[in-house]
């Protein structure tokens, strides 16, 4: 498969995770803030707005391939941090729950790896970055 098609598919798949996630966070600020409050974040409503906006905007930028290198690096860091904050050491002694959290952590780390690869490969020919030179 041609490289530019693969890069387009990679961007679509990665964006498909963050655009709905950001939209969902922004359309349910109370629930998102409750989640962040439960994790111990101060000002959870502000964190919810920030995370929701970041996920939505960064996802859209990846989708269209604009500023792919810096946005991919930010999303890689975000994914790794989200995995560690949300899943590392979770489970409270329940082996099944601990396993579920460890798998979610590894998923977030894998997503970070995908973004790191995208940051190196670039957005490909089917992107705003390519059109801008």
Q: What is the pLDDT of residues 37-50, one digit of tens each?
A: 998 999 999 999 99
The answer to whether the pTM exceeds 0.85 is: yes
| pLDDT tier for residue 35 given thresholds of 50, 70 and 90 | very high
Tokens representing 110 are: 């894998």
pLDDT at 91: 65
pLDDT in tens, 74-133: 999 999 999 988 887 676 677 888 788 788 889 999 999 999 999 999 999 999 999 998
pLDDT at 51: 98
- Cβ(124)–Cβ(65) below 8 Å: yes
Distance between terminal CA atoms of the chain? 23
* Alpha carbon distance 109, 62 (integer Å): 18
| pLDDT tier for residue 72 given thresholds of 50, 70 and 90 | very high
List Cβ neighbours of 116 (8 Å cut-off, separation of 6 or more): 72, 73, 76
| pLDDT tier for residue 21 given thresholds of 50, 70 and 90 | very high
């Amino acid at each position: 498969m041609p490289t530019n098609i693969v890069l387009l598919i990679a961007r679509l798949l990665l964006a498909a995770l963050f655009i709905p996630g950001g939209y969902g966070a922004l359309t349910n600020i109370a629930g998102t803030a409750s989640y962040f409050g439960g994790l111990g974040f101060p000002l959870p409503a502000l964190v919810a707005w920030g995370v929701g906006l970041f996920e939505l905007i960064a996802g859209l930028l990846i989708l269209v391939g604009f500023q792919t290198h810096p946005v991919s690096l930010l999303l890689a860091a975000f994914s790794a941090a989200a995995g560690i904050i949300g899943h590392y050491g979770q489970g409270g002694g329940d082996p099944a729950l601990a396993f579920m959290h460890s798998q979610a952590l590894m998923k977030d780390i894998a997503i970070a790896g995908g973004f790191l690869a995208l940051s190196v490969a670039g957005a490909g020919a089917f992107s705003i970055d390519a059109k801008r030179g």
